[in-house]
């Protein structure tokens, strides 16, 4: 059985010291071990951003795709190879700006993959521009007098897209984050894990302390029911989305694979039997 060391490679991350993404990487590696995976059973598909570098730092299959396009790639990969555990990763710019359409449609489509969204409320890689998750009034080079656009409400958006699994973690809570990723990978459908992963270099507002002062863990609520969407939404609104834990789960929603019939053995056998010769003939037909 694989141990933590098996998911480590010798590539040194170029993240700034203190970046929240280190903890996300560690949680992901620990989750892989807890799930009993071998490196060849895991694929990490990233977008572009500091967060997008994560796939290069884990020993597993890794794809560094284009900005905002990790999710279409990840879904295609999963449908072509259902035995792979596919985790897509990216930042708030990647998933909530250029890739927002893919995020929304992936959630409602419900292909059995996990999406770990590293939300630092800023564009880190490109040196600190305002993102769709930046707070109102947030000042950067692109909003020198303060952001005037309402931030995207990630959790509410996910629920409106009929998400079947929504969790939220924080970089300092490594064990909790690991457990959320484990639960997300086990969930038989699209699972969103939004992680508050502070950018220590370009976001001096939403710092570790800022999140620590505001985040509330849902395990502190006596009567929290993650299967009651109305109440979950109400709780999210009351706390302005600043919650951690497994916030929502719908066990009845069928995955895309189930609904489409791709989950059945026959369908997948047909896909697998597709030979190189047949593929080349198909290409010829299109010439």
Ligand X SMILES: Cc1ncc(C[n+]2csc(CCOP(=O)(O)OP(=O)(O)O)c2C)c(N)n1
Q: Would you give the binding string for ligand X spanning residues 170-209, x where CB under 6 A is met? A: -----------------------------x----------
What sign for the dihedral angle of Cα 151, 100, 210, 238?
positive
Q: Is 91 in the site for Mg ion (CB under 5 A)?
A: yes
Residue 16 contact among ligand X, ligand SF4, Mg ion, none, beta carbon within 5 to 8 Å by kind = ligand SF4
Q: Is 103 in the site for Mg ion (CB under 5 A)?
A: no
Which positions from 27 through 86 interact with ligand X, judged by CB under 6 A?
A: 48-51, 67
Q: Work out which of 120, 171, 194, 244 binds ligand X, going by CB under 6 A.
A: 120
- For the chain, state the CA radius of gyration: 19
Residue with the CB atom nearest Mg ion in the bound state: 91
Distances (CA, A) of 10 to 1, 67, 171: 21, 25, 23
In the complex with ligand X, which residue's Cβ is closer, 124 or 245?
A: 124
How far apart, in whole angstroms, are the C-alpha atoms of residue 174 and residue 194? 14
The piece of 92-100, 162-170, 236-244, 245-253 that touches Mg ion (CB under 5 A) is 92-100
Closest residue by Cα to residue 111 from 59, 47, 56, 163? 163
Interacting residues with ligand X (CB under 6 A): 48-51, 67, 90-94, 98, 118, 120, 122-126, 131, 199
């Amino acid at each position: 059985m694989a141990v933590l060391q098996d998911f480590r490679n010798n590539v040194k991350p170029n993240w700034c010291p203190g970046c929240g993404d280190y903890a996300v990487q560690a949680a992901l590696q620990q989750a892989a071990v807890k799930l009993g995976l071998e490196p060849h059973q895991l694929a990490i598909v990233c977008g572009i951003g500091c967060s997008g570098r994560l796939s290069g730092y884990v020993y597993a299959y890794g794809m560094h795709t284009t900005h905002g396009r990790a999710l279409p790639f990840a879904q295609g990969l999963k449908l072509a190879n259902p035995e792979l555990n596919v985790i897509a990763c990216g930042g708030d710019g990647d998933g909530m700006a250029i890739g927002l359409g893919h995020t929304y449609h992936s959630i409602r489509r419900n292909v059995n993959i996990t999406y770990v969204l590293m939300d630092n409320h800023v564009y880190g890689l490109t040196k600190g521009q305002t993102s769709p998750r930046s707070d109102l009034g947030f000042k950067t080079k692109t909003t020198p007098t303060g952001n005037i656009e309402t931030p995207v409400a990630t959790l509410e958006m996910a629920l409106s897209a009929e998400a079947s699994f929504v969790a939220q973690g924080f970089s300092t809570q490594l064990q909790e984050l690991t457990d959320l990723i484990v639960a997300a990978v086990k969930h038989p459908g699209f699972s969103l894990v939004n992680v508050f992963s502070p950018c220590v270099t370009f976001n001096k507002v939403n710092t570790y302390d800022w999140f620590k002062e505001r985040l509330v863990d849902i395990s502190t609520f006596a009567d929290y029911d993650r299967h009651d969407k109305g109440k979950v939404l109400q709780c999210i609104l009351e706390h302005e989305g600043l919650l951690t834990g497994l916030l929502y789960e719908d066990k009845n929603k069928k995955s895309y694979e189930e609904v489409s019939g791709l989950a059945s053995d026959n369908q997948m056998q047909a896909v697998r039997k597709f030979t190189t010769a047949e593929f080349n003939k198909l290409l010829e037909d299109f010439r």
